[in-house]
C-alpha cells in the first residue's frame, strides 16, 4: 500500500500539521494519537522509528534494539534522501528507499492513529496494527520513560 491508495482518507489542513501538536490541534485528537515518523542514523544507516506524538524516542533503547554502536537523529538531507519527503511530512511507509522500521508499542493504545501523508499539510487515519504492518515495522519498546 502506498500513499496513493489512501487518497480518500487523506485530510489536508491549510495551517499545517508539521508537528505532532499542530496535527493533533488541527484534527481535534489527543497528542498521543499522532504517529510521528522519525529518521535516525544507526552507525550511519537510516532507520525509521514510529512513535506516538506525546512521547520521545529513547535513543539508547533504539541503539540496543539495533545492536548499533551509535544512533543519532538524521539530518534533514538524509531524511529527504532516504524517504523522498521533508521533515514534517514523512509518512510511515511509501518511501524512496527501503528502510528498517521500528514501531513503538505505544501506538497500539488507540483504535486509530494519524500519520503524515507526505506533506506538512496532510495526514491520514489508520488502525495502528494496519499501519505497523504496512510499514513492515518491528514492534518494540523505545519510548523515553520519565522519572
pLDDT digit of tens for each residue in the chain (147 aa)?
A: 455 556 568 899 998 899 999 999 999 999 999 999 999 999 999 999 999 999 999 999 999 999 999 999 999 999 999 999 999 999 999 999 999 999 999 999 999 999 999 999 999 999 999 999 999 999 999 999 875
What pLDDT, on the 0 to 100 scale, is given for residue 147?
A: 59
Q: Is 146 inside any structural domain?
A: no
Q: Is 147 inside any structural domain?
A: no
Q: Is 53 inside any structural domain?
A: yes
What pLDDT, on the 0 to 100 scale, is given for residue 76?
A: 96
The cell numbers describing 79, all together, are: 531524511
What pLDDT, on the 0 to 100 scale, is given for residue 3?
A: 56
Q: Is 114 inside any structural domain?
A: yes
CATH number, residue 93: 3.90.960.10
Q: What is the spatial distance between Cα 5 and Cα 23, in angstroms, rounded to a whole number?
A: 21
Q: Which domain holds residue 90?
A: 3-140
What pLDDT, on the 0 to 100 scale, is given for residue 4?
A: 56
List 34's β-bridge partners, or say none. 114
What pLDDT, on the 0 to 100 scale, is given for residue 5?
A: 59
Q: What is the spatial distance between Cα 77 and Cα 11, in angstroms, rounded to a whole number?
A: 26
What pLDDT, on the 0 to 100 scale, is given for residue 115?
A: 96
What's the total number of domains in the chain?
1
The cell numbers describing 127, all together, are: 488502525
Q: Model-level pTM?
A: 0.93
Amino acid at each position: 500500500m502506498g500513499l496513493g491508495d489512501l487518497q480518500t482518507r487523506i485530510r489536508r489542513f491549510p495551517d499545517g500539521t508539521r508537528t505532532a501538536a499542530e496535527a493533533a490541534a488541527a484534527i481535534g485528537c489527543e497528542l498521543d494519537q499522532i504517529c510521528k515518523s522519525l529518521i535516525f542514523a544507526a552507525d550511519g544507516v537510516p532507520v525509521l522509528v514510529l512513535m506516538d506524538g506525546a512521547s520521545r524516542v529513547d535513543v539508547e533503547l533504539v541503539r540496543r534494539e539495533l545492536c548499533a554502536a551509535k544512533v543519532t537523529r538524521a539530518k534533514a538531507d538524509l531524511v529527504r534522501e532516504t524517504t523522498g519527503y521533508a521533515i514534517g511530512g514523512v509518512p510511515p511507509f511509501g518511501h524512496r528507499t527501503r528502510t528498517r522500521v521500528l514501531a513503538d508499542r505505544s501506538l497500539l493504545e488507540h483504535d486509530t492513529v494519524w500519520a503524515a501523508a507526505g506533506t506538512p499539510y496532510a495526514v491520514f487515519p489508520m488502525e495502528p496494527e494496519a499501519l505497523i504492518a504496512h510499514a513492515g515495522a518491528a514492534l518494540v519498546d523505545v519510548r523515553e520513560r520519565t522519572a
